[in-house]
């Protein structure tokens, strides 16, 4: 009698457990988030449908998360949904972990960027325990964990070059949305009167003030410019050109002197990196003259005041603003001397100013002041190490992409370098130590290090075989590095 060689049927598989876990999350989250009982059934149905979709297409789930992260609809339209971004972030984190666990032949490659980022967050956690006001520091550390989740999901749910390009474009679109709506609202009369001028602002609550909006736009300019390359389709060029004009005009309407100075520094960095320096210089000078000619007089006076350091003739507040930043830097150094190892704690500069130094409850308004006063020597070392790792990878990536002739990926590497330098410059007049941009820069560089996306580390002849890639459309001949 022949033996029965049929394999026993397995009813509970890893994929089934993944589906049940994610659907359970989709059922629980609406009940925790939605405060209006009338829309709760619709929220549950929508969450379950979304869960089914992202089970089959995790990248679609990432896109949904990025909409919440960049556009921030929960701060503009759906204010009744509390903690939407954090909850969706947790759901995406669970999906990412389960996807990685159940993916065949998955290899979790840790780069030195991962190491630098984790060290910084670990030092920040120790900083919380040693902080002057633990509750405030803890809230800011939780915010860093939220950004770490974004980094983790982006790095591990983007697998192809097309998805990478979509992510870059979506980052541009997020800023373009806030810039466009701010300009439209400005001309509808929705603006704020501050420092003697009318200023545009964003609709969300996280980065809505004029200076923050201008900084967000300036940080996105490298992505817009370097996405715009000669091999890009004409409709992309036209679209990016329109976005550039709207974004630059929005910076003008914000009346942010730091923002306008950031635009000028961006142009200088582009000129430095470019080949045709004289031609680009003439074009930039012409563009500046045209913008200045059409700029309303109140903003001309505002930007002219950047160089005015005479406190006796200070109508626009430029001299007082510059003087206050120098004073705050002095206070920051005093805080560093008080607590040299860990500082006063994350986000505690204003608290220390108000309670210890008997000053105004204001933020540091400089990146160096914020770093030394809030995180001390350990924070300086951790942040410096993180930046060293970023720049070391930028150098390595630029060398490879120049040799391989991959124009787009080379452009993105230059964009990240320019982005970091702009963060440093804008940090001279603003406290951007815990801004999300540092995490996005890190994520982009890690993605560029993935062979399946950029072909990094692969022989040139092997790059055309990558799934979901357009690399074969670009030059694959070896070129000499351009200094």
pLDDT tens digits for range 459-476: 655 554 444 444 444 444
Share of the chain above pLDDT 90, in %: 31
Q: According to the 3-state scheme, what is the secondary structure of 163-189?
A: HHHHHHHHHHHHHHHHHHHHHHHHHCC
> Over the range 106-131, which residues count as b (16 or more CB within 10 Å of their CB) and which as e?
eeeeebebbebbebbbebbeebbebb
Residue 315 lies in a domain: no
Q: Which residues pair with 192 in a beta bridge?
A: 199
Residue 149 lies in a domain: yes
Q: Which residues are CB-contacts of 96 (< 8 A; sequence separation ≥ 6)? A: 58, 152, 153, 156, 157
Write down the pLDDT at residue 246: 93
Select from 78, 102, 126 the last residue of a domain.
102
Within this chain, do residues 278 and 241 fall inside the same structural domain, yes or no? yes
Q: CA-to-CA distance for 286 and 334, rounded, in angstroms?
A: 45
Residue 300 lies in a domain: yes
Within this chain, do residues 118 and 70 fall inside the same structural domain, yes or no? no
Question: pLDDT band at 218, cuts 50/70/90?
Answer: very high
Q: Please determine, for residue 411, whether its predicted confidence score (pLDDT) is greater than 50.
A: yes
Q: Please determine, for residue 413, whether its predicted confidence score (pLDDT) is greater than 90.
A: yes
Within this chain, do residues 127 and 253 fall inside the same structural domain, yes or no? yes
Residue 107 lies in a domain: no
Residue 46: give the domain boundaries.
14-102
Residue appearing with tokens 């919380």:
128
Within this chain, do residues 47 and 194 fall inside the same structural domain, yes or no? no
> Over the range 232-271, which residues count as b (16 or more CB within 10 Å of their CB) and which as e?
eeeeeeebbeebbebbbbbbbbbbbbbbbbbbebbbebbe
Write down the pLDDT at residue 3: 52
What is the rounded average pLDDT of the residues 407-411? Answer: 89
Within this chain, do residues 33 and 76 fall inside the same structural domain, yes or no? yes
Residue 90 DSSP one-character state: H
Within this chain, do residues 47 and 155 fall inside the same structural domain, yes or no? no
Question: Which of 40-49, 155-164, 407-416 comes out lowest in average pLDDT?
Answer: 40-49
Residue 316 lies in a domain: no
pLDDT tens digit sequence for 146-177: 899 889 889 988 888 899 999 999 999 999 99
Q: Please determine, for residue 419, whether its predicted confidence score (pLDDT) is greater than 60.
A: yes
Write down the pLDDT at residue 33: 59
Residue 311 lies in a domain: no
What is the rounded average pLDDT of the residues 109-127? Answer: 92
- Residue 210: φ, ψ to 5°: -55, -45
**Token pair in block for residue 373:** 């006063």
Domain count, the chain: 2
Share of the chain above pLDDT 70, in %: 73
Residue 160 lies in a domain: yes
Q: Where are the beta strands (DSSP E) in 178-308?
A: 192-194, 197-199
Q: Please determine, for residue 378, whether its predicted confidence score (pLDDT) is greater than 90.
A: yes
Within this chain, do residues 256 and 208 fall inside the same structural domain, yes or no? yes
Within this chain, do residues 97 and 232 fall inside the same structural domain, yes or no? no
Within this chain, do residues 36 and 124 fall inside the same structural domain, yes or no? no
Range from 33-37, 108-112, 401-405, 440-444 that averages highest in pLDDT: 440-444
Q: CA-to-CA distance for 128 and 132, rounded, in angstroms?
A: 9
Identify the residue with better confidence: 190 or 313. 190
Q: Please determine, for residue 22, whether its predicted confidence score (pLDDT) is greater than 80.
A: no
Q: Please determine, for residue 101, whether its predicted confidence score (pLDDT) is greater than 70.
A: no
Q: Which residues are CB-contacts of 457 (< 8 A; sequence separation ≥ 6)? A: 400, 451
Residue 314 lies in a domain: no
Select from 84, 102, 120 the last residue of a domain.
102
Select from 102, 127, 149 the last residue of a domain.
102
| pLDDT, mean over the chain | 79
Q: Please determine, for residue 69, whether its predicted confidence score (pLDDT) is greater than 90.
A: no
197-199 and 192-194 as β-strands: parallel, antiparallel, unpaired?
Answer: antiparallel
Question: Which of 293-307, 390-404, 411-425 comes out lowest in average pLDDT?
Answer: 293-307
Within this chain, do residues 163 and 53 fall inside the same structural domain, yes or no? no
Within this chain, do residues 161 and 66 fall inside the same structural domain, yes or no? no
Q: Please determine, for residue 482, whether its predicted confidence score (pLDDT) is greater than 50.
A: no
What is the rounded average pLDDT of the residues 335-357? Answer: 87
Range from 1-5, 7-11, 194-198, 454-458 that averages highest in pLDDT: 194-198
Write down the pLDDT at residue 230: 64
Within this chain, do residues 410 and 338 fall inside the same structural domain, yes or no? yes
């Amino acid at each position: 009698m022949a033996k029965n060689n049929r394999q026993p049927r397995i009813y509970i598989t890893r994929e089934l457990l993944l589906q049940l876990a994610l659907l359970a999350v989709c059922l629980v989250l609406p009940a925790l988030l939605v405060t209006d009982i009338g829309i709760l059934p619709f929220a549950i149905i929508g969450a379950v449908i979304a869960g089914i979709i992202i089970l089959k297409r995790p990248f679609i789930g990432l896109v949904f998360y990025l909409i919440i992260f960049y556009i921030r609809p929960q701060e503009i339209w759906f204010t009744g949904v509390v903690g939407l971004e954090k909850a969706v972030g947790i759901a995406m984190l669970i999906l990412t972990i389960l996807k990685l666990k159940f993916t065949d032949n998955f290899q979790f490659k840790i780069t030195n960027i991962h190491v630098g980022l984790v060290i910084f967050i670990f030092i920040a956690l120790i900083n919380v325990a040693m902080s002057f006001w633990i509750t405030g520091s803890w809230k800011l550390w939780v915010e860093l964990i939220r950004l770490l989740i974004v980094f983790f999901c982006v790095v591990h749910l983007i697998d192809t070059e097309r998805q990478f390009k979509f992510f870059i474009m979506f980052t541009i679109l997020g800023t373009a949305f806030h810039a466009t709506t701010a300009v439209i609202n400005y001309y509808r009369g929705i603006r704020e009167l501050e420092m003697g001028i009318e200023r545009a602002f964003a609709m969300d609550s996280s980065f809505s003030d004029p200076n923050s909006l201008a900084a967000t736009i300036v940080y996105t300019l490298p992505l817009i410019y370097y996405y715009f390359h000669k091999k890009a389709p004409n409709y992309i060029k036209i679209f990016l050109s329109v976005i550039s004009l709207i974004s630059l005009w929005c910076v003008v309407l914000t009346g942010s002197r730091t923002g306008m100075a950031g635009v000028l520094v961006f142009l200088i960095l582009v000129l430095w990196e470019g080949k045709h320096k004289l031609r680009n210089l003439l074009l930039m000078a012409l563009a500046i003259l045209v913008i200045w000619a059409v700029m309303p007089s109140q903003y001309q006076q505002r930007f002219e005041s950047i160089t005015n350091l005479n406190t006796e003739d200070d109508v626009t507040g430029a001299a007082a603003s510059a003087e206050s930043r120098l004073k705050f830097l002095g206070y920051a150094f005093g805080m560093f001397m008080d607590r040299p190892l860990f500082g006063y704690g994350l986000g505690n500069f204003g608290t220390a100013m108000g309670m210890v130094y008997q000053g105004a409850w204001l933020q540091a308004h400089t990146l160096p002041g914020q770093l030394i006063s809030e995180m001390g020597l350990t924070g300086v070392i951790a942040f410096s190490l993180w930046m060293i790792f970023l720049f070391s990878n930028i150098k390595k990536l630029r060398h490879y992409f120049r040799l391989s002739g991959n124009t787009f990926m080379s452009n993105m590497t230059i964009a990240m370098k320019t982005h970091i330098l702009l963060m440093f410059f804008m940090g001279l007049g603003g406290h951007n130590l815990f801004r999300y941009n540092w995490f996005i820069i890190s994520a982009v560089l890690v993605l560029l290090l993935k062979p399946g996306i950029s072909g990094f580390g692969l022989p040139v002849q092997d790059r055309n075989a990558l799934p979901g890639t357009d690399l074969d459309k670009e030059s694959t001949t070896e070129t000499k590095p351009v200094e």
